[in-house]
DNA sequence: ATTGAAATTGCGCGTTG
DNA sequence: CAACGCGCAATTTCAAT
């Protein structure tokens, strides 16, 4: 969708590109928002400009029988956790985290381990972005 | 920033919330965009609504001496690759991918391997999202 | 503060099932 | 004929100068 490329495009602009009228476009978008196809709109930020200088993917290994909901709750406490997924394979979950520096990253990982059921973590720190498509 | 929560908020709306005038807000946002702190705006989509039913993190292992630029170019060819990072640790890079189904995922991985320098991959398919903060 | 652009709403029309 | 989605035009809100 064109709105993924630029979430502030005007209805008129979109309308011209798809050969419709502006109101028609608005109503379609309203519908997409209502039924959840479009979750919302967001500004995409440069993390460095906000002091987040290190980013990492942290694989999390939980104690047997740990509930997903408590995992999620534990992760939600830490604003450094940008995204986290429950995954198949070796690890139980993977968190994408953003910290000010390596020390902060270390502290976060310690926190997560103390927080409860984390047995082990394995981190892969991001050196550079190869691909970044917004809106995901 | 409030614009991360809702990228289509009006200047007036923001101005009221932060006790400033609308023009002042606009100037600030213009400055943030100019200096790169705000990269842009985007609609956040429900992948399922667009037929993307499987998501995975794919660790990529490249042949020794492979250039990052060719890695990036190879990944960029595939629209299923949503994000990709060069990382420390075991793997050389990690790609977040979105496919219609498992067969499509398998095909994508084969493609990436044929495409050149990928020696090995290891995939972790995402079962559910635990945390999702937009705008990142 | 003013001027112009964009968003929003009501209404009638054509198409479809 | 009922439901739906469109375009037009009028109104209101917003943006830019």
Share of chain A above pLDDT 70, in %: 100
pLDDT tens digits, B105-119: 999 999 999 887 899
* Domain co-membership, B15 together with B66: no
* Domain co-membership, B79 together with B115: yes
B41 touches chain A (CB under 8 A): yes
Is residue A39 included in any domain, yes or no? no
* Domain co-membership, B17 together with B83: no
* Domain co-membership, B70 together with B103: yes
* DSSP letter for each residue of chain B: -HHHH-TT--HHHHHHHHT--HHHHHHHHHHHHHTTSEEEEEEEE-GGGGT--EEEEEEEEEPTT--HHHHHHHHHT-TTEEEEEEESSSSSEEEEEEESSHHHHHHHHHHHHHTSSEEEEEEEEEEEEEEE-S--
Say if residue B99's pLDDT is above 80: yes
Say if residue A85's pLDDT is above 80: yes
Residues 20-49 of A with CB under 7 A from strand D: 20-21, 23-24, 27-28, 31
Say if residue A5's pLDDT is above 90: no
Say if residue A106's pLDDT is above 80: yes
A17: left (phi over 0), alpha (psi -120 to 50) or beta: alpha
d(CA B107, CA B103): 6
pLDDT tens digits, A11-61: 999 999 999 999 999 999 999 999 999 999 999 999 999 999 999 999 999
Q: Under an 8 A CB cutoff, do B44 and A135 touch?
A: yes
* Domain co-membership, B114 together with B59: yes
* Domain co-membership, B70 together with B19: no
Average pLDDT, integer, range B52-66: 95
Is residue B42 included in any domain, yes or no? no
Average pLDDT, integer, range A83-107: 96
* Domain co-membership, A77 together with A13: no
Q: Closest approach of chain B CAs to the CA of A28, in angstroms?
A: 14
The C1' atom of C11 and the CA atom of A24 lie apart, in whole Å, by: 14
Average pLDDT, integer, range B84-112: 96
A34 touches chain B (CB under 8 A): no
Give the pTM. Answer: 0.90
Average pLDDT, integer, range A95-110: 96
- Does A91 or A136 have the greater pLDDT score? A91
d(CA B7, CA B22): 16
The pLDDT, as a whole number, for residue A115 is: 81
Q: Please report residues of A whose CB lies closer than 8 A to that of B112.
A: none
* Domain co-membership, B66 together with B114: yes
Q: What is the CATH number of the domain that holds A59?
A: 3.30.70.920
The pLDDT, as a whole number, for residue B118 is: 93
Is residue B75 included in any domain, yes or no? yes
Q: Which residue is nearest to nucleotide D16 (CA to C1')?
A: B23
- Say which nucleotide is closest to residue B10, CA to C1' distance: D14
Is residue B135 included in any domain, yes or no? no
* Domain co-membership, B51 together with B110: yes
- Does A117 or A86 have the greater pLDDT score? A86
Residue from the list A6, A95, A136 with its beta carbon closest to the beta carbon of B83: A136
* Domain co-membership, A52 together with A117: yes
Is residue B110 included in any domain, yes or no? yes
Is residue B54 included in any domain, yes or no? yes
* Domain co-membership, A23 together with A60: no
Question: How sure is the predictor about B124, in pLDDT bands with cuts at 50, 70 and 90?
Answer: very high
Say if residue A96's pLDDT is above 90: yes
Is residue A133 included in any domain, yes or no? no
The residue range of the domain holding A96 is 47-125
Share of chain B above pLDDT 70, in %: 99
* Domain co-membership, A60 together with A117: yes
Is residue A65 included in any domain, yes or no? yes
Share of chain A above pLDDT 90, in %: 90
pLDDT tens digits, B10-47: 999 999 998 999 999 999 999 999 999 999 999 999 99
Domain count, chain A: 2
């Amino acid at each position: 969708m064109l709105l993924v490329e630029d979430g502030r495009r005007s209805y008129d602009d979109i309308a011209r590109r798809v050969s419709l009228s502006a109101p028609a476009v608005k109503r379609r978008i309203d519908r997409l928002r209502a039924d959840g196809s479009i979750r919302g709109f967001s500004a995409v930020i440069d993390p460095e400009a906000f002091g987040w200088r290190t980013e990492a993917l942290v694989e999390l290994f939980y104690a047997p029988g740990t509930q997903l909901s408590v995992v999620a709750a534990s992760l939600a406490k830490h604003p450094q956790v940008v995204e986290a997924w429950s995954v198949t394979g070796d690890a139980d979950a993977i968190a994408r985290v953003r910290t000010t520096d390596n020390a902060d990253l270390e502290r976060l990982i310690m926190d997560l381990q103390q927080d409860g059921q984390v047995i082990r973590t394995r981190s892969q720190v991001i050196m550079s972005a190869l691909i970044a498509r917004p809106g995901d």
